[in-house]
Every structure is written in C-alpha cells, then in structure tokens.
Amino acid sequence: MDINILAVGREAAILQVVERLINSHEGWHATIATTEQEAINAFKAKPYTIVFVCAGFSAQEEENLRQRLTQLDAAVVVTRHFGGGSGLLENEILGILATK
C-alpha cells in the first residue's frame, strides 16, 4: 500500500534524515515542512495518511496543527515523532498502519 507521510519540524537537517528513511521504504513517500503554513500548504496539495510532528514544535503547536489538519481530513493521524528518525520511525509508522 502506498502512503504519503508529512514530517513537520524546525530542525531541517533531522527532517532530511527522516525524509530519506521514509523514502527508503517501498511504498512510503515523505514530504517535509519546517513551518505550520508549509505543512498546511503541502497537506492541501495531496492526501496524507500520517503527519509526524518533529523536534522544534511545542505540544501546543502540535495540537493547533492537529486541529487544523483534521478539519481538512478527519482520517489523518497527526502524532509526535520521537527520536529523530533513528530506531523508532519505522516502528511508529507500522504501529499507526496496524490501527488503520
């Protein structure tokens, strides 16, 4: 199954690693954004299954983004990504897909 994943954070170097790791998995396609507005623009351009909120975004900013994106698509999973791509990223995606 092909899925699109949007990763939003303020640490561009880490986001690039997250993007590379997601894209290395067959059928998983990553887009990265470093601001809330970039994320919303990307979200309006194509459908996403998962939005990962990464380092630099506060819990309140995460909640604001969740509210805005779920108004556009109630099925999207907006969740915190922990760890900076190393070790847990694939696990987090598999866990979310298992619940869908």
Partner 1 sequence: MTNTILHKANTRGHADHGWLNSFQSFSFAGYYNPQRVQFGVLRVLNDDRVEGGKGFGSHPHDNMEIISIPLEGSLVHQDNMGHKEVVSAGEIQVMSTGSGVFHSEYNNDPDKLVKFLQIWVYPNKLNVTPRYDQVRLDPHKEHNALQQLIYPYPGSTQAKPSNDGTWIYQDAWFHMGTFDAGRKIAYDLKKPGNGIYLFVIDGAFLYNGQRLDTRDGLGITGTDSIDLEAAEQGSRILIMDVPMKNNIQ
Where is 15: in which H helix or E strand? Answer: helix 12-23
| Contact code string over 59-98 relative to partner 1, x by CB under 8 A | x--------------------x-xxxxxxx-xx--xx--x
Report, in Å, the least distance between residue 94 CB and partner 1.
5
3-class state of residue 32 by DSSP: strand
Please tell me whether residue 28 binds partner 1 under the rule CB under 8 A: no
Closest distance of CB 29 from partner 1, Å:
19
Task: Give, in degrees to the nearest 5, the angle at Cα 72 between 41 and 67.
Answer: 95
- How many degrees, rounded to 5, is the angle at CA 95 between CA 16 and CA 42? 40
Contact between 40 and partner 1 per CB under 8 A: no
